[in-house]
Amino acid sequence: MPMQQLSERGIPETAGTGAAIRLFHLTFYKCGSQWVRDILADGRIRAYSGHELAVGGVDLQGEKWPQLQRGQLASPLYSAGAGDWARIAAPDDRALVVLRDPRDIVVSLVYSMSFSHTPNPVSNLLRKPMSEASPANRIRLGMFLLAQWSEYLRTWKDAHQFPNVYCTRYEWLLSDLAGEMRRMFAFLDWEIPDAVIQQVADDNAFAARSGRPSGVENEFSHRRKGIAGDWRNHFDRILGELFEATFPDLLTSLEYEQTCDWWRELPAANEAASKTEPKQEHLLGVLAEHQQELSGLRSAVEQLPAAAEAVNTAERQQEHLLAVLAEHQQELAVLRTAVAELPAAAEAVNRAERREQHLLAVLAEHQREVAVLRGAAEERLTALQAGESARRAIERSYSWRFGFLPLRTLLSLFAK
């Protein structure tokens, strides 16, 4: 398969901006969508990425694009074309696009609808006819399902033209999960230690999640086989030619084949692959997987009280911080009012200081005038005291008593 070699692929020139972005996981059915979502939403990855899973399982053929905040993840979003992304994406948005060989998509769709897919209106409608159909007719039904969104899949042949898109393949994830995770995270500017990446990759490997080695099939399990190229076990020359006629140039556009005559190399007929009846060991395997998942869910449920208490503690801390913030905002408002009044207060102080200086000058002048008046008063008092003493001395003299005083009396009579 002439896909670009892993060692030749680098990181696009425009990488992400960490938690400042909105991240969209765009893919198609049966392209490992839940697998990739579980990796991106793993708590060990979130501890470094800062991205929380906000929405998932949206088919964009019939639903609207989700509205995300920065630091949020939408995973998975189905049936998005490159044109949709060019129209919807903001400059800072980033997309991880996961593709898969369309022929493997057809085979996986057939088994999922026939045996393992969670019951819903579509699977309930198709399960009986698919499970009862011949192997060749199952593949034809799978092609019909693929035709509903194959043209959206085709548009990603030029994914390299988008600097804000990292396009990977299900096959690359299978062959080197840890390495492909490193390349994706480098594109997003998520600085995640290699040890954490390796641990998450090991925990999400097919054998770790299914309890079976890759290639060991259990058609009743959502993790059926865990390999790439399984379509070769189900396509004959007739089905291959039919696929190429139904989806012309799709495989060459996506670089899964070099020519459109790939089907000529297939066996003439593949009808020998008869329907496989349900086997007890397969059902037991599915039961074991479900029990393992149930155990994980129980562990998560047991941790809920502690998580709830942690949330309550965080909420109380938040309320306390909000109260402190409100108090500080009130103090800040008072300070702002005081600062706004500072110019008027400063002018009033200046006026008071000038008034004080004027009063001090007037007081000093008055003190000088008082000193002059006090000196003049003291001189006048001294003069008066001297005159009084002279008068008393004259009045005690003989001339005054026997000469001037009688004359003064006599003159006063004539004056009347």
**pLDDT, tens digit, 9 for 90 and up, residues 258-283:** 999 999 999 997 543 443 444 455 55
Structure tokens at 141: 């039904």
pLDDT of 150 strictly over 90:
yes
Share of the chain above pLDDT 70, in %: 67
pLDDT confidence of residue 275: 38
Q: Is-above-0.85 flag for pTM?
A: no
The fraction of the chain above a pLDDT of 90, given in percent, is 48
212 pLDDT band, cuts 50/70/90, is confident
pLDDT value of residue 227: 85
| pLDDT of residue 400 exceeding 80 | no
Determine the pLDDT at residue 309.
Answer: 63
Residue 202 has pLDDT above 70, yes or no: yes
The runs of H, that is alpha helices, within 120-219 are 121-132, 135-147, 150-154, 170-175, 177-187, 194-203, 206-210
Beta strands in 272-318 (DSSP E): none
Q: How many other CB atoms are there within 10 angstroms of residue 10's CB atom?
A: 9
What's the pLDDT at 14?
46
Query: pLDDT at residue 416 above 80?
Result: no
380 or 171, which is more confident? 171
Of 383 and 103, the structure prediction assigns the larger pLDDT to: 103
Which token pair is 356? 């004080």
Burial level of 19, CB count in 10 A (0-12/13-18/19+)?
middle
Which segment of 151-160, 185-194, 271-280 scores lowest on mean pLDDT? Answer: 271-280
pLDDT of residue 308: 54
**Confidence band (pLDDT; 50, 70, 90) for 374?**
confident
Least confident of 111-120, 212-221, 339-348, 403-412: 212-221
Mapped to the 3 state alphabet, what secondary structure does the chain carry? CCCCCHHHCCCCCCCCCHHHCCEEEEECCCCCHHHHHHHHCCHHHHHHHCCEEEECCEECCCCCCCCCCCCEEEEEEECCCHHHHHHHCCCCCEEEEEECCHHHHHHHHHHHHHHHCCCCHHHHHHHHHHHHCCHHHHHHHHHHHHHCCHHHHHHHHHHHHCCCEEEEEHHHHHHCHHHHHHHHHHHCCCCCCHHHHHHHHHHCCHHHHHCCCCCCCCCCCCCCCCCCCHHHHCCCHHHHHHHHHHCCCHHHHCCCCCCCCHHHHCCCCCCCCCCCCCCHHHHHHHHHHHHHHHHHHHHHHHCHHHHHHHHHHHHHHHHHHHHHHHHHHHHHHHHHHHHHHHHHHHHHHHHHHHHHHHHHHHHHHHHHHHHHHHHHHHHHHHHHHHHHHHHHHHHHCHHHHHHHHHHHHHHHHHHC
User: Which residue did the predictor score with more confidence, 95 or 132?
Assistant: 95
Q: What is the mean pLDDT of the chain?
A: 80
Q: Which two tokens stand for residue 343?
A: 């110019």
Between residues 75 and 8, the one the model is more confident about: 75
Amino acid 413: pLDDT: 74
Mean pLDDT for 374-396 is 76
Angle of helix 102-111 relative to helix 135-147, nearest 10 degrees, comes to: 120
Is residue 307's pLDDT more than 60?
Answer: no
- In order of 106, 109, 285, the CA distances from 127 in angstroms are 15, 11, 21
Could you tell me the domains of the chain?
6-302 (3.40.50.300)
The per-residue pLDDT for 224 is 59
Residue 119 in 3-state DSSP? Answer: coil
Q: Which of the four pLDDT bands, split at 50, 70 and 90, describes residue 373? A: confident
Give the pLDDT of residue 387. 77
Confidence of residue 313 (pLDDT cuts 50, 70, 90): low
Q: What is the mean pLDDT of residues 316-323?
A: 63
Reported as a pLDDT band with limits 50, 70 and 90, residue 115 is low
Residue 415: per-residue pLDDT = 65
To which residue do tokens 């155990």 refer?
295
User: And the tokens for 99?
Assistant: 């593709």
Residue 234 to residue 111: CA distance in whole angstroms:
11
Rounded CA separation 373/379 (Å)? 10
Mean pLDDT value across residues 282-290: 55
